[in-house]
Amino acid sequence: MISLDDPKVLGSERVVVIVGASSGIGLATALMLAKRGDSLVLAARGMNSLEAVADRCSELGARVTLVQADASVAADMRRVVAAAYDRFGRLDGWVHTAAVMAYGDMTDVPTEVTSRVLDTNVMGVVHAAAAVLPEMRNQGFGTFVVTGSLLGAIATPLMGPYVTSKWAVHGLVRVLQIEQRPFAGVDVCLVSPGAVRTPIYQAAATYVGRHGSPPPPVDKPDKVAAAIVGVLDRPKHRTSVGMANHLVVTGFRLLPSVFDVLVTPLVRRLALARGDVPKTSGNVFESQTSNRGGNDEDEQQRVTLSAQR
């Protein structure tokens, strides 16, 4: 395995792409890498939010290139790769955090919404891998990091599209890891957090009459970002982030009948916010910050950026 901080291999400057850099885990990772002096290629659907992140990363001393891109579009992922090589001449790491979510019974969520969740969360990784892994193989080094989820190892009701997508992502990453074995110096890594305080819950599509909410215990994005940075430095196939993850997965696997009885009331009580809301597709089809004023995603971004000053 090649470490991104090995000067004998990569020199003092590192180049890292972050897809989904405008908020949440991607934003926290961008700021953490910027503080370390890495050069960044930041990609997301919403350019307004992305520019705010870029400004802060630049203040921290990073060289930054922006690409407005949708992970569900293969050509966009190829443009991100091209931007990295055009600006910096190489690509040392790729962090893929882009994801969307939908709440509701599987039979209540419109099929086009479920399809788009799968396109973004699963095909986004497929498109990214197809774009960047051949380049990393050609140059002989690189680390491809994908954010999975605790929900890629268990099943919960009312989050079916997201759960389905994360199970697929976990399987996909395992396949990529096996296929990558002949290519020394290139690593594929999975970082799987539990609940994290990010905008994805409030921004999600919902057909259950309430917004989502991260169930306890809830980690800050910085904790997951630190794990991602650690994996970039010292590649590791699987990393779990969350104090309750192991316990929950163990219960799901060893006590399935008990788990199935308890999980629905627990999700309704702990994973849904209070207050009635109308049905909405949320940010599934387009960024909620790309062409509008303030909302919850903007506010959480401002809080994160302010905390890093």
Distance from C-alpha of 239 to C-alpha of 186, rounded to nearest angstrom: 17
Q: Kindly state the DSSP code that residue 119 receives in the 8-state scheme.
A: I
Active site residue 207: no
Q: How far apart are the first and last CA of the chain?
A: 34
Which token pair is 170?
A: 């976990």
On the CB side of 130, CA atoms within 13 Å amount to 15
Is 91 in contact with 136 (CB distance < 8 Å)? yes
DSSP secondary structure letter of residue 212: B
Helix, strand, or coil (residue 145): strand
Tell me how far apart the alpha carbons of residues 249 and 227 are, in angstroms, rounded to a whole number.
20
Contact 205, 284 (CB under 8 A): yes
Among the listed residues 103, 162, 201, 207, the single catalytic one is 162
Instruction: Single out the residue of 147, 148, 143 nearest to residue 133, CA to CA.
Output: 143
Tell me, what DSSP letter sits at residue 96?
A: E
Catalytic residues: 162
